[in-house]
Chain A
Amino acid sequence: AQKITQTQPGMFVQEKEAVTLDCTYDTSDQSYGLFWYKQPSSGEMIFLIYQGSYDEQNATEGRYSLNFQKARKSANLVISASQLGDSAMYFCAMREGRGYQKVTFGTGTKLQVIP
């Protein structure tokens, strides 16, 4: 079974609008962490936001927020006020257990921001 599922291979959003990228996960661990990374065409992986399984508040980092619904096992990324520079691949990822465990990535969503 897939540990991380991103069901949207591609998304379009108008500049200055908000967009939600979906991510669901599967784990039996009580302790886990969820990440979102951005990968522009240059290939580098840019860390955006992190949510721990025990965090009660949804994580926010500037224009990025993570809509964490633990019971549904979903961790959707919300980008507000989209900018042209947000066009990139976005990967949801999960670390299971505590500390230094390997991180598993979803298949990614390609976001294109339209002027």
Chain B
Amino acid sequence: GAVVSQHPSRVICKSGTSVKIECRSLDFQATTMFWYRQFPKQSLMLMATSNEGSKATYEQGVEKDKFLINHASLTLSTLTVTSAHPEDSSFYICSAQIRTGNTGELFFGEGSRLTVL
């Protein structure tokens, strides 16, 4: 299947700093990528839809100034958690849809576990 790579897999940062997470589609072009957040033992909550070359669409309740999303190319989307606080600690996972076909299957990255001290 298609490969999506996410980096870093784990990051620990101090409160007030910013953290960037990268999501790459390695063997296909992804016009649309999705960023999810998952709290322990809970489901995936969609944060935003990232579209190549345009602004991301954020879900209700997600602060766009806090979670900056950039989708500059067909293979790369980035999520930057700005001025991170302990409550931002979570598992962040990106996914991409293949450009062709219409099943809409999502291919997921490995996830990034953020811990804010």
Residues of A within 8 A of B (CB): 33, 35, 37, 43-47, 50, 52, 91, 93, 95, 98-108
Contact = CB atoms under 8 A, between A and B. Distances in A.
A47 B105 contact: yes
Given A43-B111, A47-B106, A102-B49, A107 B95 contact: no
Contacts of A91: 43-44
A45 B108 contact: yes
Interface residues of B, number: 23
Nearest to B91: A43
B43 A35 contact: no
In this complex, the member of B31, B46, B95, B102 whose beta carbon has the largest number of chain A beta carbons within 10 angstroms is B102
Contacts, number: 58
Contacts of B106: 35, 45, 47, 93, 103
A49 to B, nearest CB: 10
